[in-house]
Amino acid sequence: MKKRNPELLPIRIYGDKTLQKKAEPVTQITNEIKDFIDDLVFTMYEKDGVGLAAPQVGKSLRIFVVDPLWYNEEGEKNPVVMINPEFIEFENQTEFEEGCLSLPEIYEKVVRAEKVVIKGLNEKGEEANYKADGLFARALQHEYDHLDGILFIDKISKLKRIFLKKKLNELSKTTDANGVNLRR
């Protein structure tokens, strides 16, 4: 059988309804889900993302992909796929600047755990556990939040959000009547 070429998925932008929703667990890793994961990985690399969560492409499922190191490892790609992930441990706290493909041109410092342990399923349905720190730990927490309808700007101070209000209103302006915001 000929291998299917992955597709570039359009990214949903701030204001989009799916970005604000709690995503549903995956009950079965069907071929359709596997194809979707291939597309999600492909789109993450095409868009130079550190990670990408299913709600960011309009699919309200508990799936995300991350690869925090590929751009400083001479393009070596090692995507981590997480299906129905759960954190088991959080350790210490640290602050670092974040961005998000769904919030173009917005960067803010966010406090998160410095180290985490996460478990979930990989694309083959096998149990996958990771002990992470640094950018990997941060990316896991950022992407996990997308599955609960949380964006990094929800984690910054009220005052900082007030300063971002104009930019955010500008971004959400292109949301259509169905709650879809592709801003193209």
Give the nearest residue (CB) to Ni ion: 100
**Any contact of residue 100 with Ni ion (CB under 5 A)?**
yes
Taking CB under 5 A as the rule, which mask of x and - marks residues 54-83 in contact with Ni ion?
------------------------------
Spot the catalytic one: 32, 95, 143, 170.
143
* Residue 143 falls in the annotated catalytic set: yes
Beta bridge partners of 111: 95
Q: How far is the CB of 146 from Ni ion (least distance, A)?
A: 6
Comparing CB distances to Ni ion, the nearer of 50 and 83 is 50
Q: How far is the CB of 125 from Ni ion (least distance, A)?
A: 25
Name all contacts of 71-79 with Cβ < 8 Å and 24+ positions apart. 77/45, 79/41, 79/44, 79/45
Q: How far is the CB of 180 from Ni ion (least distance, A)?
A: 17
The upper half-sphere exposure of residue 146, i.e. CA atoms within 13 Å in the direction of its Cβ, equals 35
Binding site for Ni ion (CB under 5 A): 100
Instruction: List active site positions.
Output: 143
